[in-house]
Structure formats: C-alpha cells, structure tokens
Homo-oligomer: A and B are copies of this chain.
Amino acid sequence: MSRDARFNQAMRRQQAAVQARIAQAPEERSLLLLLTGDGKGKTTSGFGMLWRALGYGQNVAVVQFIKGTQASGEELFLRQRHPGIPFFQMGTGFTWDTQNFAADQAAARRTWAQAAQLLQQSDLDFLLLDELTYMLAYRFLEEDAVLTALRERSPRLSVVITGRGGGSALRELCDTVSEVKNLKHAFDAGLKARQGIDY
C-alpha cells in the first residue's frame, strides 16, 4: 500500500471511531467533573473550561475555596476583562499562611453557602468550584452535605471541581475524573516559578 493509501486508511479509521463513540452516547445532560492529581494546571484547566463555556454563550460562575495573598492571573483576567462573571473567593489566603483551624473552617462554610446557592440557580450552565477538594480533606465541610448539593443541583448546570484528592465518594459521583501528572517540572531543574507559567 502506498503512503497516501495507508494515511487515508488510518484517518478513515479514526474518523469512524470518533463518530461511532458520539453516536453510541445518546444521553445529553449536565456533567460533574473532577480535575485532580498532583500535577500543576488543574485550576488553569478549570478556568480554561469556563472561558470556553463563555465562548458558547453559556452562563458561568466561579467559587474559589483557596486564594493566595497575591491575585492570580486568572483572577486578574476575570476582574479586569470579564467583571460581569459572578466570582466568589474564600478570601483567607492559603490555609498554610493562616494557621487557624476555626477561622478557616468558618470561611469555608461561608464560601460553601455561596456555592450551594449557585448550585440551585436554574439559569446557570457552568460552575467552577476551584480547590473544593481541600475543604473536604481538611474537614472544613461535611462530605455528605457537599455530595448531596452536587447531586441535587439544577439539572442544566455542569460543575467542574478542582484540587488534589477528593475522596472515593466524590469520584464515584463524578461523570468524568481527569488527572494531571507532572512527568517533569522546571522546578526540579532549578528554574524559578514564573508568572504566567507557574501561577
């Protein structure tokens, strides 16, 4: 077979496989996604999904459960260029900067109350719950209450959760679980974290 024929055959095979998978998956409903793993890029990827949803004209919102003392590029971009998007932050700084369990837990619960309200908002299409998993890991929030609110969310609302871990019950509930892994990282080669790349 010629190179062109082999190429065409391979491409037709790929095309057929993609079409078959789409045809066999007829149920269309909102999705629950978890972006997890030890690699960098989970928050950035979650925000990437948010901007893409906005590209499709969807109604989007963000709740950030951990926030550094400096504004992230995501926050700056949202506040400066897309200030109309509902955006809630826990606003306590990274927990390892505050070192106060009771204050952090109270902040987490106030922030969750915002998220719970958004989960019921019937005209919302896309909600990013950034770093929610840590709120469960630190036991700032009750897992059962969180899972119930996610399960009973507004039917058209897709939700993306980011953060390491998350626990087996959350993974079980999610339709899609995606893991980010660093195979190699510039940090390991002695390069300094760089604005716009690492944070």
Name the residue among A22, A95, A96, A197 with the largest chain B CB count within 10 angstroms: A197
A22 / chain B contacts, CB cutoff of 8 Å: 192-193
Number of interface residues of A (CB under 8 A): 87
Find out whether the CB atom of B55 lies under 8 angstroms from the CB atom of A77. Answer: yes
Copies of chain A in the complex = 2
Find out whether the CB atom of A196 lies under 8 angstroms from the CB atom of B41. Answer: no
Contact among B40, B55, B194 with A178 in the assembled complex (CB-CB below 8 Å): B40
Tell me the complex Cα distance, A7–B108, Å: 15
Find out whether the CB atom of B73 lies under 8 angstroms from the CB atom of A56. Answer: yes
A146 at the interface (CB under 8 A from B): no
Q: Mark A4-33, 1 if CB is under 8 A from B, else 0.
A: 100110111011001001101111111101
A107 at the interface (CB under 8 A from B): no
Q: Mark A40-81, 1 if CB is under 8 A from B, else 0.
A: 110011111101111110100000000000001111111011
Find out whether the CB atom of B191 lies under 8 angstroms from the CB atom of A175. Answer: yes
A185's nearest neighbour on chain B, judged by CB, is B176
Find out whether the CB atom of B125 lies under 8 angstroms from the CB atom of A196. Answer: yes
Tell me the complex Cα distance, A195–B186, Å: 34
Tell me the complex Cα distance, A30–B3, Å: 39
A179 at the interface (CB under 8 A from B): yes
A197 / chain B contacts, CB cutoff of 8 Å: 31, 33, 49, 53, 126, 158
A106 to nearest B CB, angstroms? Answer: 14
A1 at the interface (CB under 8 A from B): no
Q: Mark A81-117, 1 if CB is under 8 A from B, else 0.
A: 1100000000000111111111000000000000000
Contact among B37, B45, B56, B72 with A76 in the assembled complex (CB-CB below 8 Å): B56
Tell me the complex Cα distance, A27–B98, Å: 29
